[in-house]
Every structure is written in C-alpha cells, then in structure tokens.
Structure 1
Amino acid sequence: MLENSQQLSNRYNEHGYFVLRNYFDEAQIASLRKVILKFHELWKDDNRRFYREEAFNSSLITGSEYLPDEDRTQLFDFISSKKVMDVVDAVIPQNPAFMNTQLFFNPVNPEQKDFWHRDCQYDYDIEDQMRVIQETQVLHLRVPLFDELGMEIIPGTHKRWDNEEEYNVRQEENGKVSNDPISGGINIPLAAGDLLVFSADMIHRGLYGLDRLAWDILIFDSAADYIDYIDDDCLPSLSMLNKIADPRLFINTMQLKSTACA
C-alpha cells in the first residue's frame, strides 16, 4: 500500500525526492520493458552516429515515429495508472500536466562521464536559474527497467541555490569538472520495479554502468509556463484518450495548449 500521500508530499518538499521500492510488479515491468526496448532499438538504428558518439538519452517515447498505436496506448495506460497517479497527486495535487517521457541509457563513448546538473541550466542563465528553482518545478518519475547504479542527488537543492563547491563542479569553474564528487551527494541505487520521484531542477546526476535503461515520465504543474516544451505527437489521440481510465494528465496538457493557441 502506498504510504500516506501527505508523507510523500512532505518528503518531496523537504528533500526534493523520494524512492518507492518494489512499487511495480514483475509483470508490469516486463510488459513495459518490451515496448521500451522496441522503441530503443529503432531509435538507435535511426540515430547511429549520435548514439555512438555522444547520446545518453532519448525523448518522445510516446510519439508515433517509432511505436504503433497499440504500444503507445500501453505507455499512456501506464502513465495514467492508479499507481502512477497516486504519486503524482501526492506531489502536484492541483492540475498536474504531462510534458514528455525520456529514456536514459549508458553512453557508448567511454569518454563520457556522468555529470552533475540542474535541468533548468540548459534553458536559463544563472540569474533565471536562481528564480526558477523557487517557482513551480518539473517532476521526474523514474522507472528503471533493469537493476542499475541509479542516481546521485543533493537533497534540498530543489529549493536552495548551490553552495560554492556545488556551483564550481556544476559550472566547471575554478579547476572543477562536472563529474567531480560533491560532498553532499547521496547515492540511490535502483532496481527494476522501483520508482524514483525527483525534482528536475535539483542538483543530480545519473550514474552510468550496469544495464542502465530508465524511463522517465515528466510532469509539471499547470500553473507553470512549460507549454512550449510539449510536442503534440507525444500526446494521445482523441480515440486513445477515450480509452484511458484516468486521462487527467493529458487533458490538462491539451487544455493548456489550446488556451495558449487561442
């Protein structure tokens, strides 16, 4: 049974993350793994040079480019399942919306190292990063498909700015590089069936190694301005939507996009 939603909310608000062990059963993960691996193999074939030289993740897994509607519907059903929605509602109780999905894997290039970052650093300058982490944030729900080394995170950094050590490593200043160790880091190994929930804007890094293949579901608060980040193709069609038991995440996103275009 899921622990009290208020407890999950409190843990997230204080630390910026929580992990639920053995949250999904073997059958759920096996079914999900089959679809995700189909996407991954097709994506790799289509992006051979990028995959070989620098890739460590892909996105738009729910899109139509690589998966047929039957497989896409299976992913949408998982995202909108009671187990997932119970967690989403605990952290974002008011109008949560679907943004995207991403798939994280080990880079082929041995020169690539796992690196500390905040997701917001790729869209904002330093001043705006400081502002963004005090506002509405994006939520990652990480579903590991195989046992893996997991994540390393700095608790509480979803709501506070970097200290000197964190800043120098993340920004690669004063002789530091982004894969240097940070003293406040906590390792979170993950197994297939676990669910890791964390803030996209906290300081974190995925740890390369083992058979890493982690599927992330990205959710945001409808009050935030993230509509430009959403690709229509990763959303369900109306016929798919009618078959989803709890389509709130997708409906909220579609309504936001409709309002933005009006």
Structure 2
Amino acid sequence: MNSTVNPASTHSYGGTTAARKGVQAVDEALAAHFQRFAADLQPATLHKTFDDQGAFLYLEDFLPSAFTEKLVEAVRAVTPSINRNYIPGHKAGGSVSRHTIDELAPFIADLYRSPALIKWLEKISGDTLQESPADDPHAYALYFYTKAGDHIGWHYDTSYYEGRRYTLLLGVMDDSSCRLDYELHTRTPEIPDQPGSVQIPPGGLVFFDGDKLRHRITPARANEFRVSLTFEYVTNPNMRPWQRFISNMKDSIAYFGFGQVFRRKGGRNGAA
C-alpha cells in the first residue's frame, strides 16, 4: 500500500507562517494518500475492528514511503540529542521529546498536526481529538532501542489528563527482534483477556487508548536497532496541577531528562 508522495515543506524555526505551510504540505499529501488507498484505509471498517479489539488497531502498512523516509531523516537529525534512561526491572532505552523535535526535525510536528490525519483517527476512535498541550513532551516523541537489553516492561499509557489519551505508534526503523506484546480487554471483566504480539515494520501503525491496552516492548539483542515514533492526542487537554507534577516527574526520570521536560520553548510552532 505504500505510495510515494512529495511531503516537502518550507521549514523555518522562527515563525508560524512556515509552520502553517509545513502542515499544509503534509496534509495535502496525506489526504491524497487516504484517497488513493480508500479501500484499505476505510474508517468505518477500521472503527469496527478498533472497537471489537477494545480500542486497538494494527496496520502493517500505513505511511506513504516518502513520509517514512522523512522520518528516517528526522531520526538522524535528533540522534545526538537522545536521552538515555534506565529503570531497573522496567525499562531501558533512549528518548527524544517534542521540544527537541521542534528544533531539529519539524516534519514530525507537521505530520502530528495534519487535519487529515486527526480526522481519520477521530473516525476510527469515535472521539473528538485534540493536540496535547504545548508543554507536554510526550505529544510527539521518538524512542530508541539501540543497545542490548533495551526494552520497556508491561504497562499502560496512563493518562493524567481529565479526558482520554490516544496513542498513535508509528514504525520508523527496525533492524531488531523487538516486538510489541499486548493484552486486549484487560479493563473489561466480561471479556477474556486476549494476548497478541506484532513486530511493527517501518511505516506500520498501532493506534490505541493508552488506558486500556496493557503492553510492552521485548528486549533488544546486541547490535540491533529499533526506532519508533508516538503521537499523543487527547479528548480534554486539562490537567490538575498535582497530576501535572506527577506527569512531569515521570517524564523526567523515565524518558527525557529534567532539562527537556522543564525548559520552556519558543521555536517554530510557537510553544511557550
């Protein structure tokens, strides 16, 4: 299903005009992609699958090939800024937050804000989706599994927002044995848990409600390399101060470091 499109955009880090042009270029290319593969990407059909699986959807082939290539370029641009993290018994790996991405790889922000993408995801989820607030480092982030033992243990993507938070996981680079293991219906007592496992190829997609899907990434072996991209969309962007503090501390320790989480950003997209 991969197609080649031209997602080129005018990138400048200092103004909203360039940001709008970038989003518009990406949005037009993505809208054409949705139209070209309408049968495979039919929202009504995918919504039923998503709903039947307890708010989970996997597509082996989703992004246009040109978009995946741009994401690989973004990985190369941000690699010097990776924050390595290690929590004994739970996770090890590298992360790059949206604040660094805004500076070094703005194509990702353009894709995140694409109205065509957001509308498509709304039809699948059945919810009205909003971008995460500008100070949320998880809004879009890259995750690196590049050393033996890099992994993340079983967890939910717990939302500290007052509404729901949906995770869109995109495969970017994968020369590894890592797999996304998951369990469906764990929050629905009347339905038996349903285990599953996928290895997400570059351009593949997983979309789920983070509070409903129990999942993990299995450990990387020596000389393996895996990079994934996540987008987080919310139904209510409000968060209580204490919840914000907990979220920031978790992000600082487990993902991005205190510098990326607590520094304030100006940048191309006007984040405060």
TM-score of the aligned structures, taking structure 1 as reference length: 0.61
**Structure 2 match to 1:220:** 234
**Structure 2 match to 1:85:** 118
How far the C-alpha of 1:189 sits from its partner, in A, is 1.6
**Structure 2 match to 1:246:** none
Q: Deviations over 1:102-161 (max 9, x none)?
A: 322226363x6642112339x7xxxxxxxx9xx94321111111235431111123x426
Q: Deviations over 1:7-66 (max 9, x none)?
A: 33332233121122321122211111111232133225xx5xx47986324242x21xx4
Within 1, Cα distance between the matches of 2:190 and 2:143?
25
**Secondary structure of 1:190 counterpart:** coil
> Which structure has more strand as a fraction of its residues?
2
Match of 1:10 among 48, 58, 62: 48
**Structure 2 match to 1:126:** none
User: Is 1:28 equivalent to 2:67 in the alignment?
Assistant: yes
Within 2, Cα distance between the matches of 1:226 and 1:188?
35
Cα separation, partners in 2 of 1:6 and 1:116, compared to 1, 3 Å:
same
**Structure 2 match to 1:119:** 157
Within 1, Cα distance between the matches of 2:108 and 2:264?
11
User: Is 1:96 equivalent to 2:148 in the alignment?
Assistant: no
How far the C-alpha of 1:184 sits from its partner, in A, is 3.8
Q: Is the 8 A contact 1:14 1:156 kept in 2?
A: no
Q: In the alignment, residue 130 of structure 2 is paired with which amino acid?
A: P
User: Is 1:141 equivalent to 2:168 in the alignment?
Assistant: yes
Residue-pair matches, total: 203
User: Is 1:55 equivalent to 2:88 in the alignment?
Assistant: no
**Secondary structure of 1:208 counterpart:** coil
Within 2, Cα distance between the matches of 1:212 and 1:224?
33
User: Is 1:197 equivalent to 2:207 in the alignment?
Assistant: yes
**Structure 2 match to 1:179:** none
How far the C-alpha of 1:5 sits from its partner, in A, is 2.1
How far the C-alpha of 1:96 sits from its partner, in A, is 2.2
Within 2, Cα distance between the matches of 1:143 and 1:32?
10
Cα separation, partners in 2 of 1:67 and 1:77, compared to 1, 3 Å:
closer
Cα separation, partners in 2 of 1:52 and 1:30, compared to 1, 3 Å:
farther
Match of 1:151 among 176, 180, 187: 180
**Structure 1 match to 2:218:** 207
**Secondary structure of 1:38 counterpart:** helix
Cα separation, partners in 2 of 1:223 and 1:215, compared to 1, 3 Å:
closer
Q: In the alignment, residue 206 of structure 1 is paired with which amino acid?
A: I
Cα separation, partners in 2 of 1:67 and 1:7, compared to 1, 3 Å:
closer
Match of 2:82 among 35, 40, 43: 43
Cα separation, partners in 2 of 1:120 and 1:72, compared to 1, 3 Å:
same
Q: In the alignment, residue 29 of structure 1 is paired with which amino acid?
A: T
Cα separation, partners in 2 of 1:68 and 1:142, compared to 1, 3 Å:
closer
**Structure 2 match to 1:75:** 108
Q: In the alignment, residue 143 of structure 2 is paired with which amino acid?
A: F
Q: Is the 8 A contact 2:163 2:236 kept in 1?
A: no
Tell me the percent identity: 12
Match of 1:105 among 127, 132, 144: 144
Within 1, Cα distance between the matches of 2:235 and 2:126?
6
How far the C-alpha of 1:235 sits from its partner, in A, is 7.8
TM-score of the aligned structures, taking structure 2 as reference length: 0.59
Q: In the alignment, residue 11 of structure 1 is paired with which amino acid?
A: T
What RMSD over aligned residues (CA atoms) do the two structures have, in Å? 3.9
Within 1, Cα distance between the matches of 2:49 and 2:239?
25
How far the C-alpha of 1:77 sits from its partner, in A, is 1.0
**Secondary structure of 2:68 counterpart:** helix
Q: Is the 8 A contact 1:55 1:107 kept in 2?
A: no
